[in-house]
Amino acid sequence: MSGELADSEFASYDGEWERPTVFYNTAVKYLVYAVVLVFLVWNVVNVWVPIDRLLRGFGSAWLLVTSMFPPDFGVSIVVTPVQVGGYNVFVPSALAVDNDALRLWSGMIETLAMSIVATAIGVVISVPIAVMAAENLVPRPVYVVGRAIVSVSRALHELVIGIIVVVGFGFGALAGVIALVFATPGFLAKLLAEDLEDIDPTQMDAIRSTGASPIQVLLYGVAPQVMPRLIGLSIYRWDINIRAATILGVVGAGGIGNVLIRSFDRYDYQYSMAIILSIIAVVIVGEVASAVARRRVQ
Amino acid sequence: MLSVENLAKTYDSGDEALKGVSMEVSGNELVAIIGPSGAGKSTFIRCINQLTTPTAGSVLLDDVELTELSTGKLRDERRNMGMIFQEYGLVDRLTVMENVLSGRLGYVSMWNAFRRNFPADDVRHARATLDRVGLGGMEDKRADELSGGQRQRVGIARAVVQRPKILLVDEPTSSLDPESSRAVMDLLTEIAREDDIPVLINIHEVELALEYADRVVGFADGRIVFEGAPDEVDEDVRDTIYRGGTEGSLEAEPEPATESDDERPATPTER
Amino acid sequence: MATESIETAGEWDRFDRRERLLRYVALLGTVLLTYVSWQALNVRYSYLVTAPEMTLNLFRRMYPPDATYAPEIVAPMIATINIAVVGTILAIVMAIPVAYLGARNTTPNRYTYGLGKFLIVASRSVHVIIWAIVFVIVFGTGTLAGILAVAFRSVGFLAKLISEEIEEIDRTAVEAVEATGANGLKTMLYGIVPQVKPAFIGLSVYRWDINVREATIIGFVGAGGIGMELQTRIDFFDWSGVLTILLAILVVVIFSELLSAWVRGKVR
């Protein structure tokens, strides 16, 4: 049948073949699949939603969407009639700005200010934490502490910190700044530590061999190697902090989020939509600016 | 027997890649198509199994007209044509065995394909073929763990397990070093003889073509400008094929000077 | 000759100096911007003075965590995981067609490509908490709103990365499977699925891990999960209960992060 092979020779080949698996054998493989499937099904069953509730939701979703348009930025154009050849022609003469527009504006300024201050402070405290979390630079116990700080900072969402600080201490924008500062090392120190672990040790040794103190070794042997990366990461983190700052106000921690949640509370959905669109615009501008700046640094 | 008549292909961009090509391939001959890049060699091969739909002309495989088939019928006919690709066309993350067995996909049910459950005869044939191409025991390796030459041999094995009526081979050696290239050509010759099927190879390296082919077809500018035995390929013929000399074709446009580089044989890194 | 080389040297020096000047200007600008921002925040300095004491005070009220309260947070914690899992599943289901539209080589035409990209950007630029607010208005308080918020937020992320994966598919391999006479579905099964599967699984698990974190906060606006419980404890000033919840979140989040990293290492 296969041209060149005698039937007996052909028959000597094994007719069975099974795909090799990353698990130890097929039984384990199906067991793992079964466990995953049961887990997924259990999750779905746990949150099971009656269909009629979903359908009712779609109705009110449509209502919400229609009541959000057109977005109302609180800015309107005043037109005044001008006589042209016996006809009244309406000509735009001024821009009317109401309180909504002012609140939107000042909320956005506060958001940006929070993100800038928080990034500056966050970078300053992230650097020593990064050194602590770099395995090659510090003794083991310090390393463990450094990693623990990074882990906690990563695991607790900035909103969780925000809400605690707001209720515990009772201040607005500063609470937001504290929340963002808290979250910054989880990103910045973690990535910077990874870079510190990759540095060229001979440069460090060269400085050390001149009799420099450990601090001097850090300043002259380590810092120059990771400086561009630190700047790049800081800009990146600023971009992330802008995003986060736009929503911290939802729990009362200052910024545009405050304005947003209040607009929802008073069912002013057209204004809400305007705020959401403004947030999206600021976030996208921040993203693009950060990308451009990072490219320039590298 | 493959019989192509007046095959033409004009791409949407307006490029006329093929301008009426006729050819017959039968028995167990190894036919090499040579010619400069852009002469339409690849388009020709792809128009045979309809990976590229020709604009005009006919392709007959054992008296079945391929250009007018419905999708389903075309799939059935494709099972009879094994194809080997320049860039191997292997699925990197599948095992060697899965790549080879995919040559039998046209014969198994969807469900069995999903479960990788192929008939015992197919698996035996796949194992035997892997042995034959020198990859016995490599069944469970992933395709991306292999070297270029090994990958091309998996590609050949995949075509062979189709038990095709013809092998279509598109630039099998242009990604390979000279040594692997020769091994691949040896293998293709052997398959043509032993399985008694014709092999149609579109190949870049003239010297390899002359050494292995039973018949050489020269393409230039979408047309056949030469057809004959390898020993008939002399300087004049090369001139005709690669520099658009006046010998065999009056219409062939002269190629730009850089194209003459193509003539240099056995440089595997070309293009 | 000599003068020329001096001139070039001067040029280099000047360029170097300009670069250094630029650096100082950037540094000064950053410091100035930070200062102005700080001023804009109108922070009362009395806060800053009392802050360390208040922090210490808060910690004292939190510690020790309330162990007797622990059983009560099991249910909301499970709900949090449920939200993350089901939200991710839903996101995957929605992301596949969006990725198909947003990938240059599979999208039917220019307009569908634009639509795909628009959906991706829209989903990504709206924060999960905003999605949560919207869905709470639509579906009322509870898990459903949370699931939808997590799902809608994740679609863009998944669709973006999956479409990039689709764009990198090796076309020849797909063609080769097609050339054996395999039909569309089999070609997909052997040619396309193996190429995108590892990235697909990796991305899904990665997004799930992010979603566990996000699911801890959407409760603040009523979209279910541990966040609602946390909000209640805070409103009651039950600080030791708050610490219990924080520790629980820490454990769950870090565990899911490790699990996700392990799975991603396993598939390739």
Backbone dihedral angles phi then psi of residue B34, each to the nearest 5 degrees: -120, 165
Same domain, residue pair B179 and B259: yes
Q: pLDDT tens for residues B147-186?
A: 988 999 999 999 999 999 999 999 998 888 888 899 999 9
- Mark which of B163, B193, B212 sits at the end of a domain: B163
Average pLDDT of the residues of chain A: 86
- Percentage of the residues of chain A whose pLDDT score is greater than 90: 39
CATH fold of A99-297 reads MetI-like fold (1.10.3720)
Residue B271 reports pLDDT greater than 50: no
The tally of CA atoms less than 13 A away on the side-chain side of residue B216 is: 26
CB atoms within 10 A of CB B29: 14
By the 8 A CB rule, do C243 and C62 touch? yes
- Mark which of B128, B163, B198 sits at the end of a domain: B163
At B254, is the pLDDT very low, low, confident or very high (cuts 50, 70, 90)? very low
Among A219-223, A261-265, B84-88, C91-95, the range scoring the smallest mean pLDDT is A219-223
Same domain, residue pair B125 and B196: no
pLDDT at residue B268, as a whole number? 39
Site from B121, B124, B129, B190 to mutate, A interface, most A CB atoms within 10 angstroms: B124
* Number of B–C residue contacts, CB under 8 Å: 85
Among A154-168, B96-110, B131-145, B236-250, the range scoring the smallest mean pLDDT is B236-250
Cα–Cα distance measured from residue C203 to residue C209, given in angstroms and rounded to the nearest whole number: 10
Same domain, residue pair B36 and B103: no
Q: pLDDT tens for residues A89-110?
A: 777 777 777 788 888 888 999 9
Q: pLDDT tens for residues A44-80?
A: 888 877 777 778 878 888 888 888 888 888 777 777 7
Cα–Cα distance measured from residue B64 to residue B70, given in angstroms and rounded to the nearest whole number: 12
Same domain, residue pair B75 and B189: yes
pLDDT at residue C13, as a whole number? 58
Average pLDDT of the residues of chain B: 86
Q: pLDDT tens for residues C85-104?
A: 999 999 999 999 999 999 88
Given B97, B127, B196, which is nearest A3 (Cβ)?
A: B196
CB atoms within 10 A of CB B30: 23
Residue A265 contacts B, CB cutoff 8 Å:
no
Among A101-110, A206-215, B48-57, B138-147, the range scoring the smallest mean pLDDT is A206-215
| Closest chain B C-alpha to A35 CA, distance in angstroms | 20
Closest CA in chain A for residue B136: A13
Residue B98 contacts A, CB cutoff 8 Å:
yes
CB contact under 8 A, B93 and C198: yes
Residue A234 reports pLDDT greater than 80: yes
At B197, is the pLDDT very low, low, confident or very high (cuts 50, 70, 90)? very high
- Percentage of the residues of chain A whose pLDDT score is greater than 70: 97
| Closest chain B C-alpha to A36 CA, distance in angstroms | 19
Given C172, C185, C194, which is nearest B94 (Cβ)?
A: C194
Residue A136 reports pLDDT greater than 70: yes
At B255, is the pLDDT very low, low, confident or very high (cuts 50, 70, 90)? very low
Residue B266 reports pLDDT greater than 80: no
- Percentage of the residues of chain C whose pLDDT score is greater than 70: 94
pLDDT at residue A99, as a whole number? 80
Among A63-72, A140-149, C24-33, C160-169, the range scoring the smallest mean pLDDT is A63-72
Q: pLDDT tens for residues A258-282?
A: 999 999 888 889 999 999 999 999 9
Given C175, C190, C194, which is nearest B51 (Cβ)?
A: C175
Residue A142 reports pLDDT greater than 80: yes
Q: What average pLDDT does the segment C188-200 reach?
A: 90
Same domain, residue pair B66 and B174: yes
Q: pLDDT tens for residues C3-26?
A: 444 445 555 555 677 778 888 898
By the 8 A CB rule, do B187 and B152 touch? no
Residue A172 reports pLDDT greater than 60: yes
pLDDT at residue A6, as a whole number? 62
At B193, is the pLDDT very low, low, confident or very high (cuts 50, 70, 90)? very high
Given B95, B132, B196, which is nearest A19 (Cβ)?
A: B95
CA torsion sign for B42, B48, B54, B58 is positive
Same domain, residue pair B98 and B18: no
- Percentage of the residues of chain B whose pLDDT score is greater than 70: 90
Q: What average pLDDT does the segment A139-158 reach?
A: 93
| Closest chain B C-alpha to A1 CA, distance in angstroms | 9
Same domain, residue pair B126 and B70: no
Residue A87 reports pLDDT greater than 50: yes
By the 8 A CB rule, do C113 and A31 touch? no
Type of residue found at B266? A
Q: What average pLDDT does the segment B118-144 reach?
A: 91
Backbone dihedral angles phi then psi of residue A69, each to the nearest 5 degrees: -115, 145
Same domain, residue pair B171 and B269: yes
Cα–Cα distance measured from residue A156 to residue A175, given in angstroms and rounded to the nearest whole number: 15
User: In chain A, which residues fall in CATH 1.10.3720.10?
Assistant: 99-297
Same domain, residue pair B38 and B67: yes
Note which residues in 193-222 of chain C have CB less than 8 A from chain B.
194-195, 197-198
At B245, is the pLDDT very low, low, confident or very high (cuts 50, 70, 90)? low
Please give the C-alpha separations between residue A10 and each of A266, B80, B104, B128, in angstroms, as whole numbers: 81, 22, 17, 7
Considering only CA atoms, which of C146, C268, C159, C135 is closest in space to residue C207?
C159
More confident residue, C267 or B62: B62
Residue B203 contacts A, CB cutoff 8 Å:
no
Residue A284 reports pLDDT greater than 60: yes
pLDDT at residue C14, as a whole number? 58
| Closest chain B C-alpha to A11 CA, distance in angstroms | 7
Contacts of C177 in chain B (CB under 8 A): 91, 102, 105
Residue C125 contacts A, CB cutoff 8 Å:
yes
More confident residue, B52 or B246: B52
Residue A296 reports pLDDT greater than 50: yes
pLDDT at residue A81, as a whole number? 77
pLDDT at residue B104, as a whole number? 94
CB contact under 8 A, B163 and A2: yes
Contacts of C217 in chain A (CB under 8 A): 157, 159-160
Cα–Cα distance measured from residue A43 to residue C208, given in angstroms and rounded to the nearest whole number: 13
Residue A20 contacts B, CB cutoff 8 Å:
yes
| CATH number of the domain that residue B16 is part of | 3.40.50.300
pLDDT at residue B270, as a whole number? 35
Q: Helices in C63-192 by DSSP H: which ranges? A: 74-102, 110-125, 128-139, 143-167, 171-179, 184-187
Same domain, residue pair B146 and B185: no
Please give the C-alpha separations between residue B258 and each of B52, B120, B262, in angstroms, as whole numbers: 28, 52, 8
Backbone dihedral angles phi then psi of residue C49, each to the nearest 5 degrees: -65, -40
Overall number of domains in chain B: 2
ipTM of the complex: 0.83
Closest CA in chain B for residue C185: B110
Among A73-87, C51-65, C201-215, the range scoring the smallest mean pLDDT is A73-87
Residue B258 reports pLDDT greater than 60: no
Same domain, residue pair B13 and B60: yes
* Number of A–B residue contacts, CB under 8 Å: 49
Residue A293 contacts C, CB cutoff 8 Å:
no
Same domain, residue pair B191 and B251: yes
Q: What average pLDDT does the segment B236-246 reach?
A: 77
Which residue segment(s) compose the domain that B106 sits in? 89-163
At B269, is the pLDDT very low, low, confident or very high (cuts 50, 70, 90)? very low
- Mark which of B142, B163, B184 sits at the end of a domain: B163
